[in-house]
Structure 1
Amino acid sequence: MTTSVVLITGALAGIGRATALAFAQEGARIVVSGRRDEAGHALTQELRSLGVEAEFIRTDVRHEDEVRNLIDRTVTRFGRLDVAVNNAGTEGKPGPVTEQTAESYAATFDTNVLGVLLSMKHEMRVMQAQGSGSIVNLSSTMGHRGAPGASIYTASKHAVEGLTKSAALEGAASGIRVNAVAPGPVETEMLDRFTGTPERKAGLVAGVPLKRVGTPTEIADAIVFVASAKASFITGQIIAVNGGKTAS
């Protein structure tokens, strides 16, 4: 069986980093991308120490030429692209709707929505030619229930879910599956930035039925499953991994 080639955007911290390590445990060949060279090369060395082939390609997903280069270099290096995890994202500028601006909107949507669109465009270009592939986008529990003070972020994740479903319908005839994993609160630097204070973070946790935040590894395990052949009949779905937060 051919070892899978996996590409992960936004791979240098949090859920992206945990996902790279989880795929390494599966023996995949991995390309990680992000905007910080030092962190990228350090992660690559860590992955190689686990016995897998790994490369870092610096990429800003807001720019199509860089995304095109990322996909083309991945295929040049490994010959194909089996799994793509589009994780690059930002929480943007939290705050009420009345404080948002065209600039805060663009800063969030350019990464969270345009970045996913451009990534899928070039990932699907390769996957259509091979007749197979699995794409997993990162959404959020806020992508389908909203939250005060997070209007732009919430809207961006609504858009990711719409893109996911549309791409799944377009890709199905070519053997491409497209899904999204929607985490609840997860112990990451992004969550700390978003909540701002321990008190606000505790308030967010109180709304989770399991009464805790998730770990990046728990989200990574869900991503690995959704991307795998064990989920071969799952496409166009938004899979919540949120401790029961959307159960009611």
Structure 2
Amino acid sequence: MQGQEILPAIATHLLDSARTNGGKAPSERDLAEHFSVSRGQVREALAILEAMQVIERRAKSGIYVNTDNTGIEAMAFLARAGLPLENRQIYEAVEVRKIHEIKAAELAAARADDENFDRLRDILVRSEERIAQGEGIDGLDQEFHLEIVRATQNTLFLNICTAFYELGGNRLKVYFRDPDRNRKSHEEHKQIFEALVNRDAALASALMVSHLRGAMSYWSELLQPAELSD
């Protein structure tokens, strides 16, 4: 097994094993035997997963998987590896992403430069073309929103929001299967863009709130835990 394949493979195996073993994962030796790799390779992979808080080592007890206490970086890693996340994790990530993007619109109105505006214009043009061809704009929607975050000129902010999008990439494709939803989203993107160009932070933020409200309503129906919807 190649080095780049070991980490997601071990993560998948750990999660599967933990679900049927009270959260406890196999030992280093068992993992090395299962994947036919050295214990050093296993130890290195586990160290990365521990740093991301996917697992924890308990003295004299073994390795345990933290399914309920996973940080955004770890959740993004699991999503990239194709591993399923809990509905609560996804819903909470969507909720926090909304908070970040509203603030991003406000900051971008003051900080966006000509390159940001050029990229946003290009995204809107390509969105028009995709819609005219009857195709979804899921990838372009992500580009548009992340370009607004990039326009804040805050790299850490961009890294955080990129991680949020990695959690829901496949779900965006489902969301944008509806042609009406594509057109509505595109029109709202154009309004947000105009507010940014006019340096109207209050309007850009308000338009982003309205824009994300529809998406939040959609995801709430699909993902919101029952105990939160009572």
Which TM-score applies when normalising by structure 1? 0.27
- Greater share of strand: 1
Q: Which has the larger radius of gyration?
A: 2
